[in-house]
Structure 1
């Protein structure tokens, strides 16, 4: 991940994530973790994927794979993904909805384009984040929750739309069950609209999914794929340029008390626990996903981003 220096008071240097091709041409930007920063609050992974267009007969396929020690949240702007897991849950997610998968002691799931969307061709555009669980909850029993768009709190005013995916902010409370103090939200600003980032969490960042934004009182604009680390306590006002729109993600929260280790899909406060999970996956001790086929192999070494 490259760093572009910024002289903006109260904002750390911007971080531009690397992009890579993933499944069937889907492009993914991995914002976290990076060589510059491992976590923001309890967030330890953040991926921005698409927009992608799949012709008829093609689609997105993520074979069954395991997780421990995290809650994974998927949020789409366009398209559809079918989630299947070893608990027997089968759930489609569509734009404006939330799939919240708490791995805890271990879960196996797959993510795929539905047969119907694959047959006709489809689009896919969204984000996925992993929230590291506090050590006292790392081994909680795995569970899955889906929240429809009407359940997710939103505020729309003066050209700004704020959607609270998880946590507490702007007088809203998300229904998603979390184990730590955090905020995860989508912000859409139409031309010249403003949004003030609230100072409630020690670590906060704005990621520009599409378009560009200005920071009030400062020079320059920040564009697609850039992550802006905000100084603790500051009230930052963002504005979309005139006649343009911007789509942003707000991520943040209180940092965890203990360090976290990450290898592939495994996150833990214990290196030994990660080694155990690797051995369990390699030797077939994780449960199977009903009705699924194929398994994602354990990588021989850490993925390089």
Structure 2
């Protein structure tokens, strides 16, 4: 069995892994202390950002910071098997000893992820426990703040506390990759810049592209230094696939629209024929013959 590509350059694991657990404390372009201060002051926060822009990394850092107090509850609307029930979540978070001693949970930090499906009544229940001091701080997370239908009071509490995950700068992109691989020669700063320029300034996309390009250089080209040709080959191939996919989707959409128009036209023709038939139809009479 051949060596994994990253073993060829001295890594035991994939240095560009996008699994949050792999590099849970890695954070680029965000002020964590600012977020921590909001939590410590018992505020509600909304973290807004596109897929791959670092929301999960922020949550991992929050969990790692506060988990020692055993007062962190994390709930993901997309992954949860049970419906959201704040009462049960709080009850389940209380330790066995506290239950025996009759100590009720308090100062809980609640992290609600992928909350597009959050219902208003659930939000109101959460608010009730927040006002009682059982919940100290709530961190809402979603791709778009405006997708969520919050009660007015929560909107007021979130005023000024919506944190949007920013796109990386060129300097931050280089720092991210250097933290992963150090100063080994496979990727120069200039090459990282070029990959970054074609990664939509998205950290996840940058890592994925670096992985694909490095793998291509090592496995297919048998080279240990990435060049611009490798970038063109790999990203160009991906971009070509995307264009083809877009074209196919466009064709399918056009075909569906055409079929829809034809069906609509047939319906309208049938209606017209039916209306004409009705108009020209000779009225029927019941004729009774009498014998004289």
What is the TM-score when the length of structure 2 is the normalising length? 0.24
- Structure whose CA Rg is larger: 2
Structure with greater helix share of residues = 2
